[in-house]
Chain A
Amino acid sequence: MKKLVIYLMAEPETPELARAAVDGGADIVELGFPFSDPLADGPVIRRAAERALSRGMRTRECLDVLRQTHELVPGTPLIPMTYSSLLEAYGWERFADDVQTAGGSSMIVADLPVDVRPETRRVQLVAPTSTDERIALAGANTDGWLYLVTVTGTTGARGEVSSALPSLVERARRLVSVPLYAGFGISTPEHARSVAELADGIVVGSRALQVAEEGPDALREYVASLRSALDTVAVVA
């Protein structure tokens, strides 16, 4: 089974949306803790972060949403994704502890490369520009799986799957032993299928946020369409 990771921005509606995503077939839910200056994000997630902040979603509120989501979907790994500034302000260890207490399984810090604060346990990211040495380091330090950034660029839906992915997957397979989930730019079932031919799972963010605007039913249906696409691959493989 290929894994399906869905990204949602932490807002009051998020627990219900997360349940819909899980019902649709999501294996893992990433929970965006919004930051005012998200360097790794394209316009969709940036705007979602701006809105969440304008609705008062600060670290404590995000942890509450994490807790509520965990209560609704206790069997699904939940992974906060955020930026260093939030951890710096909250306290690095305290942040990690409180995420765990609230039901988080790990976390992702988008602007924290593997050699900065290696003691902070998290899912590491590698990119097409990463050297073999850095891929190996990230693989050795990552928490459970390795996040392959499929493009040199920011988050956001794209017309086609990145041409940089095959060689990144090939290198990562040679250098690390953990599962490889690919994200950035994946939005359609067709993308999902072609990425899953290579990687062990996919991460869908910007498009999921857009669909989530239409409510839980639309999100469930969208996630189910990705799930079916992935399951075709699993059968073939």
Chain B
Amino acid sequence: MSTSAFGTYGGRYVPETLIPALDELERGWRDALADDTFHAELHALLTTYAGRPTPLTLSERFAPGKRIYLKREDLLHTGAHKLNNALGQIVLAQRLGKRRIVAETGAGQHGVATATVCAKFGLECIVYMGEEDIRRQKPNVERMGLLGAEVRPVDFGTKTLKEATSEAIRDWITNVETTHYLIGSCVGPAPYPELVAELQSVIGREAREQHLAAEGRLPEAVIAAVGGGSNAIGIFHGFLDDADVRLVGVEAAGAASLGTGRAGVLHGARSSVLADEDGQIADAHSISAGLDYPGVGPEHAFLRDSGRASYVGATDEEALRAFRDLARTEGIIPALEPSHALARARELDAELILVCLSGRGDKDLAEALLGLEKLA
């Protein structure tokens, strides 16, 4: 068995047509990493356009008795951490000479981030989105349209992120010469998981410094929601070498690729996936479109097996309660995705906790209010 940076996870399980493009991407990425002008351009965009660094906010009322710090990716331009990755990849796409961008989106946050950077750089943008997600994330569909992107509905299978990702990859296979596939999470064939993790690791680097400045020590635990896993990998990367800091990923209970999945191959990588005993991919279920995905980044599977990170689940109801409670106690409306992390953070057996507040909840209001009504 071939090995990668993530043990037996990762790899390139894609049709041959894509291999030269992945080689080209990998070369372009290595060149960019070694090039000061790439880092300077990205840094300028992150600070003057995206709004980095994002603040660290101490929340004292949400979970009495604990000191929970929120890394405020919800305050980033476009309202979620997704822009860190989209900006990095668009600068890379420019270096590769690609003028057409395709992306998949679940909650719509990655689609909006991609549409945003394409508008800024004047590139053609096509976003694949499942019909079920179009229904439940309407504000983001409207934003993408306004930004000049074409949203292509995917009307088969689960009609969510899984199928949208497959269609984006099929588009890439068909238009590979002209197109960059701007994947939204740390999933997919190599080098994407590593590339996205590196672009998101700015979250962890900033948060570690900010936490040290605020508390004079590191947090006991770092906790983040995991769908594909990019915000979690981004914040975890800041603390991987701090053996005393617990890393906790929180999956949606109905989409627990790490908690209840098995080794499998989905969307170009070997990882832990929700699948039946024959390898057929199972449907995921979550109120949060961003977590409603049966796969997860291969690095998370590796971190789980190595014991460096642990992964737990939160139900739709627990996430909804945390969503409401953060709004009422801190005046912050979180997205439903990080609401899963908040739900586990407040009952974690630790006092000093860092939570990645990966996005804001405006997009979720309709779905969340409906869900809260049912709870009452």
Contact = CB atoms under 8 A, between A and B. Distances in A.
B174 interface: yes
B12 A116 contact: yes
Interface in B253-282: 262-268, 270, 273, 275-281
A126 interface: yes
Contacts of B266: 37, 85
Interface residues of B, number: 40
A149 B16 CA distance: 9
A74 interface: no
Interface stretch (B142-150, B165-173, B325-333): B165-173
A9 to B, nearest CB: 14
Interface string A58-78: 111000000000000000000
A130 B12 contact: no
B268 A39 contact: yes
10 contacts: A35-B280, A39-B267, A85-B266, A85-B281, A89-B277, A89-B278, A111-B268, A117-B1, A129-B20, A130-B20
A110 B280 CA distance: 15
A125 B279 contact: no
Given A59-B278, A86-B279, A153-B173, A114 B264 contact: no
Contact of B174 (A36, A110, A153): A153
A117 B263 CA distance: 16
Interface string A126-145: 11111100100010000000
A154 B262 CA distance: 28
B19 interface: yes
B365 interface: no
Contacts of A83: 265
B177 interface: yes
A141 to B, nearest CB: 12
A129 B19 CA distance: 8
A101 interface: no
A128 B176 CA distance: 11
A47 B157 CA distance: 10
A152 interface: yes
Interface string A89-102: 11000000000000
A90 B263 CA distance: 11
A36 B169 CA distance: 15
Nearest to B158: A36
Contacts of B64: none
B229 to A, nearest CB: 19
A3 interface: no
A83 B157 CA distance: 17
A84 interface: yes
Contact of B176 (A39, A116, A152): A152
Contacts of B280: 35-36, 53, 58, 85-86
Given A83-B265, A85-B279, A129-B16, 14 more contacts: A35-B279, A36-B157, A37-B166, A37-B281, A40-B173, A84-B265, A85-B264, A86-B279, A89-B279, A113-B19, A127-B15, A129-B176, A134-B20, A149-B16
Given A129-B176, A152-B176, A84 B13 contact: yes
